Amino acid sequence: MKKKHTMEYFEANGVRQYLLHNKSGDPSAPVLLVVHGGPGAPDSNVAHKFREWWKGLFHIVSWDQRGAGKTLAANGEPPEYPITVQDILADMREILAHLKEMYGVEKVYLLGLSWGTLLCSLYSLEHPEDVAALISAGQVTSFYRSEQAAYGIVKEAVVAGGNKKDLELLESIAPYPEQPFSYGSDAVEIKMPKFKRLQSKYGYAMKLTFELIFAFLLGPASKLSEVSYYSKKSADKRKAYNEELLKYLFDFEIDELGYEYSVPVCYITGDKDYTTTSSLAVEYFDKIVAPKKLHCPIAGAGHNAMFDQPELFARALTDVRALAETP
């Protein structure tokens, strides 16, 4: 019986980087690189679910970025940390060149998840020659404006619920968000955690489901010895490695990238996503000028749309491939 997945450590720019290949049964299928969120939150341990849900649509390659998951485990503390966005983009270029040669393709599909959407957007603008299509799920637009929208919807829910303690907590952090809303500011370090507790309580935050936990623990590529690299125990270490990336994330404004893309662009948005606020992503998507573009809204999905509505997410990927391959 053919192995369904293969693991590889590919050295890019002096760093051993973990790649998990879930190959399609169709040798001629295109290649999809999954670029995870965070920074520092890999999804390679749940990639067996992607293979199950996407049923041979792509050769799926999951990559643990610098400072994350099995790449972090393989390298310990490389001297180039803290990591920069340009480090990650340079790694992407090496990895895509490797995948193009390995699979014999001219271009690779990019699927960005949350933080990964920012990376994929930047890469597609800089190196469109490598990209078959840019697929964004949970597109990062503006952390500040996203928190504004989330605060509004959570405030409505708290007021409607009439819980006195929650109302007092909401009052105690007002105004929220406030400038400076940068990494390390009081608004982020003190007020934001309090707001996130309310956001989660009222059902407007990303849900950590039992299915997601079991998928992580029971994944064929999971190793007990590496669990600490994903746990809260190592959170401070990962945070230190990814500090420059977090600063970039909090200051990021997608409109500063402009609206001209040279590759097909697809946005997959969950209507209940208030982590990266889908309405802001749609506003930006509507301004994009691209050879082809497709918006796939998914009802009943939050920030983790692929787990919230796996069948609809798979259908969106099918539509993207059809769009990209249509002359």
User: What's the whole-number average pLDDT of the chain?
Assistant: 89
pLDDT above 70 for 252? yes
Q: pLDDT tens digits, residue range 191-203?
A: 999 999 999 999 9
- Give the C-alpha separation, 81 to 1, whole Å: 41
Mean pLDDT of 14-27: 93
pLDDT above 80 for 175? yes
Longest dimension (CA), the chain: 62
Please give the C-alpha separations between residue 124 and each of 43, 109, 326, in angstroms, as whole numbers. 21, 10, 20
Parallel, antiparallel or unpaired: strands 5-12 and 15-22: antiparallel
Lowest mean pLDDT among 33-42, 114-123, 207-216: 207-216
**Where does the pLDDT of residue 27 fall: very low under 50, low under 70, confident under 90, or very high at 90 and above?**
very high
What are φ and ψ of residue 32, in 5° steps?
A: -120, 120
Parallel, antiparallel or unpaired: strands 59-64 and 15-22: antiparallel
pLDDT above 80 for 220? no
Delineate the domains of the chain, giving CATH numbers in brackets.
5-142+208-325 (3.40.50.1820), 144-201 (no CATH)
What residues contact 271, with CB distance under 8 A and at least 6 apart? 278, 297, 298, 299, 300, 301
Q: Determine the pLDDT at residue 97.
A: 98
Sign of the dihedral through C-alpha 250, 119, 275, 289: positive
Q: What secondary structure letter does DSSP report for 238?
A: H
Indicate the residue type of 36. Answer: H
Contact 250, 181 (CB under 8 A): yes
Q: Is 291 helix (H, G, I), strand (E, B) or coil?
A: coil
Contact 77, 114 (CB under 8 A): no
Q: Token digits for 15? A: 């760093």
- Give the C-alpha separation, 326 to 218, whole Å: 38
- List, as own/partner pairs, every contact residues 192-197 make where C-beta atoms lie below 8 angstroms and the sequence separation is at least 24, other chains included: 192/147, 194/169, 195/147, 195/150, 195/151, 195/154, 197/169
Q: Determine the pLDDT at residue 52.
A: 86
Residue-wise DSSP of 101-153: HHHT-S-EEEEEETHHHHHHHHHHHH-GGGEEEEEEES---BHHHHHHHHHHH
pTM comes to 0.92
Contact 131, 123 (CB under 8 A): yes
Cβ of 93: how many Cβ atoms within 10 Å?
A: 16
**Where does the pLDDT of residue 230 fall: very low under 50, low under 70, confident under 90, or very high at 90 and above?**
low
Lowest mean pLDDT among 69-83, 110-124, 128-142: 69-83
Nearest to 35 by CA among 129, 106, 131, 103: 131
pLDDT above 50 for 3? yes
**Where does the pLDDT of residue 232 fall: very low under 50, low under 70, confident under 90, or very high at 90 and above?**
very low
